[in-house]
Amino acid sequence: MSRSLQSVHPPLALEARNVRVQAGDREILHGIDLDIPAGRWTSIVGPNGAGKSTLLKAVSGLLRHASVDADVRLMGRPLHGIPARERARSMAWLGQNETAMEELLVHDVVMLGRLPHQAWLAPAGPADFEAVEQALHMTHAWQWRSRPLSQLSGGERQRVLLARALCVQAQLLLMDEPLANLDPPHQTDWMHIVRDLVSAGNTVVSVLHEVSIALQADDMVIMANGRVQHHGACADPATHAALEQVFENRIRVLHVDGVWVALPHWRSRAATT
Ligand SMILES: Nc1ncnc2c1ncn2[C@@H]1O[C@H](COP(=O)(O)OP(=O)(O)OP(=O)(O)O)[C@@H](O)[C@H]1O
């Protein structure tokens, strides 16, 4: 492919065609096409129940308890043809409400992110310990390394799970509500981490409820009712219009202090009552 064509069509980290998800007799996703460009941060937003988490799980092959019909390619290769360990090294996942690791120590939880790098039953090596330490420092969680996960607060725990995803050192990171329970300084830290990852050539996809933070991404996917309503650059006025519309004009996208933010549009209702 020529250089000019490559710049028009950047390589895709993830391509999904006709993603349909059915749970019982209900179709949750109605044939979604999604192209995620490599080396960029894409945020996925939309109202509760729009299908954001389902889409992220469906394209990563992690969806259980539902039937998935999708043609997904990871870095140009059919997802189902990639061996499980290689897939786990290429694609890191940070999900919601993981409860299976409560009694593990923080260091051991983060070390789980290194499993795809280790030979079967082989002990962790120096590179694994180094990756764990680096990830725990990046999320400011190193001081809890000897505590069980169950003893941490919601935000502390989230930073440990982020460290686990980071220490996979995958090209593609998929994160479902990564800011859950994080206070504003650690939300900012998370954005810095994402920007550093993207600058290093990685791809980040994050489902976010914090619309102002989602607007700091490169691209935004806006979902409603099991469909993608809009996919565009975060700085594009068409994206802002679609965002306001999907949230029933109850938010306004404004340019404040050099960045785009979304604020609740509550005065209009107060004015009519
Ligand atoms: N296993 C399931 N069985 C039946 N319905 C399901 C199942 N999983 C999800 N749903 C439904 O599918 C819809 C999409 O759910 P999903 O969790 O993907 O939404 P979301 O956009 O991530 O929502 P939120 O913003 O509230 O986290 C919801 O209406 C949900 O109730």
- Which alpha helices (H) appear in the chain, and where do they start and end? 3-8, 52-60, 84-90, 106-111, 126-138, 154-166, 184-199, 211-214, 237-246, 267-272
Atom of ligand 1 nearest to the CA of 207: 22
For ligand 1, atom 6, name the residue with the nearest CA: 23
Pocket test for ligand 1, best of 20, 53, 205, 228 (most atoms within 8 A of CB): 53
**Residue 81, token pair as written in the block:** 């043809």
Residue 28: alpha-carbon gap to chain centroid: 19
Domains of the chain: 3-75+171-272 (3.40.50.300), 100-170 (no CATH)
Low-confidence ranges of the chain (pLDDT < 70): 1-8, 267-273
Residue 268 pLDDT: 56
Burial class (CB in 10 A: 0-12, 13-18, 19+), 13: buried
Residue 241 pLDDT: 98
19 contacts 68 by C-beta, under 8 angstroms:
yes
| Beta bridge partner(s), residue 204 | 41, 173
For ligand 1, atom 17, name the residue with the nearest CA: 53
Residue 179 pLDDT: 93
pLDDT digits (tens, 9 = 90+) for 13-53: 999 999 999 998 999 999 999 999 999 999 999 999 999 99
Residue 1 pLDDT: 43
User: Ligand 1 pocket: which residues have CB below 6 Å?
Assistant: 23, 26, 28, 46, 48-54, 65-66
Residue 269 pLDDT: 56
Atom of ligand 1 nearest to the CA of 46: 21
For ligand 1, atom 2, name the residue with the nearest CA: 23
Q: What are phi and psi of 122, to 5 degrees?
A: -80, 145
Residue 2 pLDDT: 43
Pocket test for ligand 1, best of 19, 26, 48, 54 (most atoms within 8 A of CB): 54
